[in-house]
């Protein structure tokens, strides 16, 4: 099973888009959200009050799923000021909430802030959540909001004994907290509201990962919007060794269920000798490694576009799967699969074609997966239409206006 334990680490400059997406998703449907949280996180990083040493993310399988950032603040009395910290927004992707990730970020960074010698943290937050970390009403310590008020959600935490003794004044925090309007927030948030193939987690309520932005292996090539119903897709590509040079190539808009495994050529043993046992890779045995020409290499594994691969299916080395195919759950696929064909079983065998040859030809010619996202948005009613005669007519009309179309 994939490891869903988060790694807590300092944020890097390249994390900013992912962090802002996490913040947006975390607060999108929150009842007390203002809608400005993502833009606030963006702007606070450019503020002189930003504390880079406390800018932390939670990462799972190389992907940012949570974040916390701090800014310097102060309590201003009549004749004296006391430096404090303020954190927020604290954000965790909805799919990962209630798993202790936010708590881990808060506890870890509070300990760091304490070690760095900061006096206290003053926040606006949920009065039933933050007391578990030691936060109490800020009024207990003589601290009010910038406009002189107090209420349960305004809280403070001294970071060492006596840190807030004798303090009396108003919180002064970064003016960025007060300077963001709805119109500019809406403009900023618009970037999160269109299909983006580089977003890692496109669904808020459960594990779904767009594969392409997670890939680090240069021999795995994946198209836009192909998703995996779990995290850490690369862990499902096994026996993939650089010296073989084989590639896994997957098209766009594929749907890959949890547990699917792509077995690459490194799993093959030599079959043209008396024994298949690989003495050469095991300690103590004296055998020269065979040349690649002596191994039963099957070439690249290639999956087309809009392919649905069912749970726990196994795709063996060198298989080519055509556009629109469906691979049944637990199938073991050792041979090529034609476009728009359903296969199942071990070994996987064709069950039937999904459509007649005319519709398959139209879909192959139209290649809807290669259209820009706004154009795909417009034709979703066609792609979702169960009346296949309507679909044929619509595709013929679309193809007729494409100058290079072979259907004209």
Residues in Cβ contact with 139 at an 8 Å cutoff, skipping those fewer than 6 apart: 150, 154
Active site residues: 269
What's the rounded Cα separation, in Å, for the pair 216 and 214?
A: 7
CB atoms within 10 A of CB 332: 17
Q: Is the peptide bond before 311 cis (omega within 30 degrees of 0)?
A: no
> Which two tokens mark 340?
């728009």
Residues in Cβ contact with 186 at an 8 Å cutoff, skipping those fewer than 6 apart: 35
CB 209 within 8 A of CB 200: yes
What's the rounded Cα separation, in Å, for the pair 93 and 91?
A: 7
Three-class secondary structure of residue 127 per DSSP = coil
Query: Does an H or E element contain 352, and which?
Result: strand 349-353
Of 356, 387, 382, nearest in space to 371 by CA? 382
Cα 9 to Cα 41, 63, 159, 297: the distances in Å are: 17, 12, 21, 41
């Amino acid at each position: 099973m994939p490891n869903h334990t988060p790694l807590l680490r300092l944020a890097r400059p390249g994390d900013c888009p992912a962090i802002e997406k996490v913040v947006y998703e975390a607060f999108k449907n929150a009842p007390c959200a203002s809608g400005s949280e993502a833009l606030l996180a963006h702007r606070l990083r450019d503020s002189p009050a930003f504390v880079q040493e406390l800018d932390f993310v939670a990462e799972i399988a190389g992907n940012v799923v949570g974040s916390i950032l701090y800014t310097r603040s102060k309590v201003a009395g009549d004749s004296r000021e006391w430096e404090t910290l303020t954190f927020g927004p604290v954000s965790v992707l909805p799919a990962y909430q209630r798993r202790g990730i936010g708590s881990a970020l808060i506890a870890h960074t509070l300990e760091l802030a304490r070690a760095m010698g900061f006096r206290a943290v003053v926040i606006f937050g949920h009065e039933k959540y933050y007391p578990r970390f030691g936060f109490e009403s800020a009024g207990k310590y003589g601290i009010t909001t910038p406009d002189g008020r107090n209420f349960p959600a305004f809280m403070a935490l001294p970071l060492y004994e006596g840190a807030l003794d004798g303090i009396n004044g108003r919180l002064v925090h970064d003016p960025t907290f007060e300077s963001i309007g709805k119109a500019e927030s809406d403009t900023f948030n618009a970037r999160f509201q269109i299909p983006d193939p580089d977003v890692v987690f496109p669904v808020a309520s459960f594990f779904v990962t767009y594969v392409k932005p997670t890939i680090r292996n240069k021999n795995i090539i994946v198209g836009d919007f192909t998703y995996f119903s779990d995290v850490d897709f690369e862990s499902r590509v096994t026996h993939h060794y650089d010296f073989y040079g084989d590639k896994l190539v997957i098209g766009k808009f594929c749907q890959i269920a949890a547990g699917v495994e792509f077995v690459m050529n490194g799993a093959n043993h030599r079959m043209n000798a008396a024994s298949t046992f690989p003495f050469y890779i095991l300690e103590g045995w004296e055998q020269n490694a065979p040349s690649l020409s002596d191994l039963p290499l099957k070439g690249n594994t290639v999956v087309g576009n809009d392919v649905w691969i069912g749970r726990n299916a196994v795709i063996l080395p060198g298989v080519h799967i055509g556009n629109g195919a469906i691979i049944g759950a637990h199938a073991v696929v050792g041979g090529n699969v034609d476009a728009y064909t359903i296969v199942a079983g071990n070994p996987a065998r064709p069950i039937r074609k999904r459509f007649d040859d005319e519709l398959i030809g139209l879909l192959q010619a139209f290649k809807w997966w290669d259209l820009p996202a706004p154009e795909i948005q417009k034709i979703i009613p066609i792609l979702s239409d169960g009346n296949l005669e309507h679909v044929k007519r619509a595709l013929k009309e679309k193809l007729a206006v494409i100058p290079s179309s072979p259907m004209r």
